């Protein structure tokens, strides 16, 4: 099986050996992607093999990423792989959320069930495998929190030294706590995500550290497994829409690539439409796509949102995301802080729960059904990217009417559920309950 790195820019398409340490094309500065010669891969027999692996106790078969390794065959030696049994995340029905979103039915693919509580684990196991294959000792990332939590865990589990760079004061404690607990050297930099990414790229080059941001093509390869597993769980029935929150735009790029490859190889008979939802205060991709090619991509210098996971003004993967949205006849939407907060509470009421960025999906769906882009009867899968416990502070503030938007306006506790302080008095409590 032949694999190589290729420039994503259609005007360049330069090729590099799969073991070259590169994040951008040296010729044109374009994004890079892993490409394979899949040969005569038989979709039907692989579907069977993947099902059988679910019954196995072998670690790589138990992984909801490496179970599907034939679709990202870049690893030459399985001993490089570090698995924490990532993936295996459920498809959940949320009737209350469907009603709120203007749909007859909705399914959530809940990536918050991953070992470190977010979809980053699917990609990180891929990136760390490549780091170990390349003989790297140290790995680094800049993160709004989830990437760092995931990288810390996988690097430490694999005997690598994790170095983490995060915007000072702008990530949730749940995520920072994970990085510390998993033993990462953690730098809180007084700059925003986009500025720190530029800084870390310089440091990585100078100090020979392997960069594990989503610009790393092997992270994207691992993340393809989310949509492969989703199709497997749906017995290969393609939904009409897949809805994702958009920050750095790595995830939509991975979904698009995975879907195209599955389509080309005969695993699925059509492509679903992809919808990306951004927070209004951090929506450079939305603005770019709305301009329909009339304006160049422009980064947002001061992104603002309480959904800190997607507080990104200069998403690196926008060219890939644009390609995948156009290829799937997809759309980009944006939603306000209030819309995110209310949608999140509704997902919570379904007994499901998620972190703020993930709830942008349901908020976006509500808008897209209201304006007729998504029809009520459509088969829609929304990807919940992070666990409800990633940002408990946000939850408490919302339910107690204390959540403030970045512009200092109060978020209304539309679906608030504040705790009640009571005396130690059975009579009084009985009265309150009945």
| Residues near ligand F0G, by CB under 6 A | 118, 120, 143-147, 214, 245-251, 309-310, 355, 357-358, 385-386
Q: Nearest approach, Cβ of 321 to ligand F0G (angstroms)?
A: 8
Shortest Cβ distance from residue 187 to ligand F0G (Å)? 14
Alpha carbon distance 285, 289 (integer Å): 6
81 or 200: CB nearest ligand F0G: 200
Nearer to ligand F0G, 120 or 367 (CB): 120
d(C-alpha 205, C-alpha 178), whole Å: 26
Pairing, β 380-384 against β 107-110: parallel
**Shortest reach from residue 108's CB to ligand F0G, in Å:** 13
Burial label, 58 (beta-carbon count in 10 A; 0-12, 13-18, 19+): exposed
> Is the CB of 243 or the CB of 413 nearer to ligand F0G?
243
User: Least Å distance between CB 343 and ligand F0G?
Assistant: 14
Report the residue number, 61 or 215, with the smaller CB distance to ligand F0G: 215
Contacts of 427 (CB under 8 A, 6+ apart): none
Is 83 or 111 the residue whose CB approaches ligand F0G more closely?
Answer: 111
The helix (run of H) or strand (run of E) holding residue 186 is strand 185-189
Half-sphere exposure of 404 (CA within 13 A, CB side): 4
Q: How far is CA 223 from CA 127, 276, 289, 411, in A?
A: 10, 16, 24, 33
Residue from 10, 89, 4 nearest 326 by CA: 10
Gyration radius from the chain CA atoms: 21
| Least gap, CB of 298 to ligand F0G (angstroms) | 18
Minimum distance of ligand F0G from residue 3's CB (angstroms): 23
Q: Which is nearer to ligand F0G, 145 or 348 (CB)?
A: 145
């Amino acid at each position: 099986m032949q694999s190589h790195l290729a420039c994503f820019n259609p005007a360049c398409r330069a090729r590099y050996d799969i073991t070259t340490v590169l994040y951008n094309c040296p010729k044109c500065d374009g994004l890079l992607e892993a490409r394979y010669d899949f040969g005569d891969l038989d979709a039907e027999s692989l579907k069977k093999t993947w099902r059988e692996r679910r019954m196995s106790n072998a670690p790589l078969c138990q992984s909801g990423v490496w179970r599907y390794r034939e679709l990202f065959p870049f690893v030459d030696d399985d001993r490089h792989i570090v698995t924490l049994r990532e993936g295996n995340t459920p498809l959940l029905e949320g009737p209350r959320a469907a009603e709120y979103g203007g749909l007859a039915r909705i399914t959530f693919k809940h990536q918050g069930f991953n070992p470190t509580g977010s979809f980053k684990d699917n990609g990180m196991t891929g990136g760390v495998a490549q780091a170990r294959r390349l003989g790297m000792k140290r790995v680094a990332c800049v993160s709004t929190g989830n990437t760092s939590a995931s990288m810390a865990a996988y690097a430490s589990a694999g005997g690598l030294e994790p170095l983490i760079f995060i915007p000072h004061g702008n990530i949730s404690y749940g995520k920072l706590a994970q990085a510390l607990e998993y033993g990462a050297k953690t730098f809180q930099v007084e700059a925003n995500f986009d500025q720190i990414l530029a800084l870390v790229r310089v440091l990585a080059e100078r100090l020979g550290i392997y960069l594990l941001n989503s610009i790393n093509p092997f992270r994207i390869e691992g993340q393809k497994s989310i949509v492969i597993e989703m199709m497997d769980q749906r017995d290969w029935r393609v939904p009409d829409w897949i809805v994702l929150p958009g920050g750095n735009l790595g995830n939509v790029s991975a979904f698009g690539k995975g879907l195209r490859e599955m389509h080309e190889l005969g695993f699925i008979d059509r492509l679903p439409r992809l919808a990306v939802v951004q927070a209004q205060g951090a929506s450079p991709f939305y603005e770019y796509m709305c301009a329909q090619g009339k304006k160049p991509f422009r980064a947002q210098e001061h992104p603002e949102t309480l959904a800190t996971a997607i507080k990104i003004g200069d998403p690196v993967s926008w060219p890939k995301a644009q390609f995948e949205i156009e290829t799937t006849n997809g759309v980009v939407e944006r939603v306000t802080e209030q819309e995110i907060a209310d949608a999140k509470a509704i997902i919570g009421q379904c007994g499901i729960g998620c972190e703020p960025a993930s709830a942008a999906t349901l908020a976006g769906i509500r808008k897209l059904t209201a304006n007729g882009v998504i029809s009520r009867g459509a088969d829609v899968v929304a990807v919940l990217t992070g666990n409800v416990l990633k940002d408990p502070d946000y939850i408490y503030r919302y339910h107690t009417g204390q959540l403030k938007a970045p512009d200092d306006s109060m978020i209304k506790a539309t679906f608030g559920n504040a705790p009640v302080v009571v005396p130690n008095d059975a009579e009084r409590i009985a009265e309150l309950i009945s």
